Amino acid sequence: MIKKLSIQPASGLQGDLSVPGDKSVSHRGLILGAISQGTTILHHFLPAADCLSTLTALQKLGVPIKRVDTTVTISGRGLHGLTQPQQPLDMGNAGTATRLLTGLLAGQPFETTLVGDTSLSQRPMERVRQPLQAMGAQVQLTAGHLPMTITGRTLHGSCTEMQVASAQVKSALILAALQADQASTIIEKLPTRDHTERLLQQFGGQIETAPDQRTITVQPQPALVGRSLTIPGDFSSAAFFVTAATIIPNSHVRLTNVGLNPTRTGFLNILRRMGEPVGTLDVRFAQLHPVQVTATEIPAVIDELPLVALLAATANGISTINGAAELRVKETDRIATIVTELRKLGVQITSQPDGFVIDGRKSWRQPTEPLASHGDHRIGMMMAIAALRLAAPAELESAEAVNISYPTFFEDLARLSQGV
């Protein structure tokens, strides 16, 4: 789908907005509800393509789930109540669901095959297979990728030092550790988002994080109990409008009910250093300064790095982003796609193996060819925000990619552009 993008509104972006439910929490709420006893109700669930892939996969694993708009009711089957699906589970584009379910299914007494779309089938899965195998799991990959076949086995408690800073891999190990024969310890390279740990405690699991914020101990075989949860607004979705309000003159946007888990809000820390006076997501236009982002900051801002690049493209100097090699194995090679798309606007940006160098002092220009999402939801939304700075409308190819995480994105953006 090719979409004609909005240009800068004369009065800037104005208004209040409640963004959809958090994608990471929606995935995890579904999974933990499925392996709990009793009923779990998720309010403000994100009905985007990725989360619906998780919901459908769990239904095929024998879990009764009903959804009415953004309310989901799950009849939990308990930790050992899943059943073998009759066919491979199609995970679509959902990398989070794929890796988390790999950890869960590694300890179930049956065989499951996971498949995905073209993009997901190119994402690395060896990073999750290796540590699970050390726990006794049997996971077969296709040249390191999907299709993946998981043959459930008895899992053993272990001490795992993670080789990549990945909340998805960590969560897969936690779900496997719940089914092990003794306690497990997981040691992260750097602290990553902790939604799984927080939610697991709410469902009755025993999990502890050491003061170093890197060492996690999981007790096995918990009796999880279903509960009612209201999912907060997705910070990563809110970040697009934070960025838009920051770079579009005369803007004033207030974002309500946004999740502010400190392992997710590194983007705000970076934005503060660039000169934007952020309060409780009450955002106004600001002149930005260049910023240097280093590897220790990347886990808390990994999904917002395209927006950091866009902000840097408007700052009054040279910004650098390093330590972000993980961007190369997202839905696309985001380092390459960000460089390609921002250069269409005349942005002076150079790729590095693990990041970018961006000079925001150069004036932008009208693109001579359509902008493109490359099938990546975050790239598509980033370019729609960037197009607000143009004097004439631009076109976005594969605009439907935003449905992966934010189906109402264009409608919400149009509402703020109209000040209603």
User: Could you list the active site residues?
Assistant: 303
Residue 194 Cα to chain centre, angstroms: 13
CA distance 346 to 364: 5
> Tokens for 336?
């390459």
CA distance 35 to 20: 25
> Tokens for 169?
């891999």
Answer yes or no: are the C-beta atoms of 247 and 285 closer than 8 Å. yes
Q: Is 59 exposed, middle or buried (0-12, 13-18, 19+ CB in 10 A)?
A: middle
Length of the chain: 420
Longest CA–CA separation in the chain, Å: 63
Please tell me whether residue 81 adopts helix, strand or coil conformation. coil
Residues in contact with 55: Cβ distance below 8 Å, sequence separation at least 6, in sequence order: 30, 65, 67, 72
Please tell me whether residue 345 adopts helix, strand or coil conformation. coil
Amino acid at residue number 150:
I
| Alpha helices for 203-318 (secondary structure H) | 235-247, 266-274, 305-312
Answer yes or no: are the C-beta atoms of 369 and 343 closer than 8 Å. no
> Tokens for 263?
């392992």
Interior angle at CA 193, CA 192 and CA 195, nearest 5: 145
Answer yes or no: are the C-beta atoms of 199 and 171 closer than 8 Å. no
Residue written as tokens 């996690």?
A: 216
Beta-carbon count within 10 A of 47 CB: 17
Answer yes or no: are the C-beta atoms of 332 and 374 closer than 8 Å. yes
DSSP labels for 266-282?
Answer: HHHHHHHHHT---SSSE
| Alpha helices for 184-279 (secondary structure H) | 195-202, 235-247, 266-274
